[in-house]
Amino acid sequence: MTRSVIRLITTPEDHRIARLAAAAIGLALIDAAIPLPLPGVKPGLSNIVTLIVLARFGWGTAAWVSGLRVIAGGILLGHLLSPGFFMSLTGAVVSLFVLAGAIHLPRRWFGPISWSVLAAFAHIAGQLLLARLWLIPHDGLFLLVPVFAVAALVFGIINGLIAARLLADPSFINTGTPHV
């Protein structure tokens, strides 16, 4: 009897994506543990990783990291395929679309902070749309728009600042993860 061995051939790119996705998943778990008054208002710390990946390795890698984070985060938080999972998926997909456009803005003037704020607004816009169409089909939902908009602005700026700071750190250049 021969033992069959299945070997996956992985590239350095795969390893990098896996490492970055792990960092994003860790931050997503911290995110979920932070108590906040309104469901849906979250700092979105894992987006810091997305922003850094976007700046260092481009949109394709960022999309991989973001997608893996949503799915693995869903498994770890136990909400895979639940409404919360689809909210998070919609937010990630819409943000990535906006980021695809945002990275073409001239870098001299628009940095990670712009990307972060734009993505945060796209995130809530996508989620509100999904919630309105599917979860809470009532216009009363739009009364919460100001709360979500302010949260998007504040957390968007904070995450963008952190990403910009880490990107400006010289020890950060090679891997995109800090050397400990």
Name the site residues for other proteins (rule: CB under 8 A). 105-106, 108-111, 113-114, 117-118, 121, 139-140, 142-146, 149-150, 152-153, 156-157, 160-161, 164-165, 168
Place of tokens 């996956």: 8
Which residue lies nearer to other proteins by CB, 100 or 149? 149
Minimum gap (Å) between residue 109 Cβ and other proteins = 3
Name every residue whose Cβ is closer than 8 Å to that of residue 99 and which is 6 or more positions away in sequence: 50, 54, 59, 62, 115, 118, 119
d(CA 124, CA 54): 20
Which residue lies nearer to other proteins by CB, 3 or 108? 108
Minimum gap (Å) between residue 106 Cβ and other proteins = 7
Which residue lies nearer to other proteins by CB, 68 or 147? 147
Structure token digits, residue 76: 């770890």
What is the amino acid identity at position 68? L
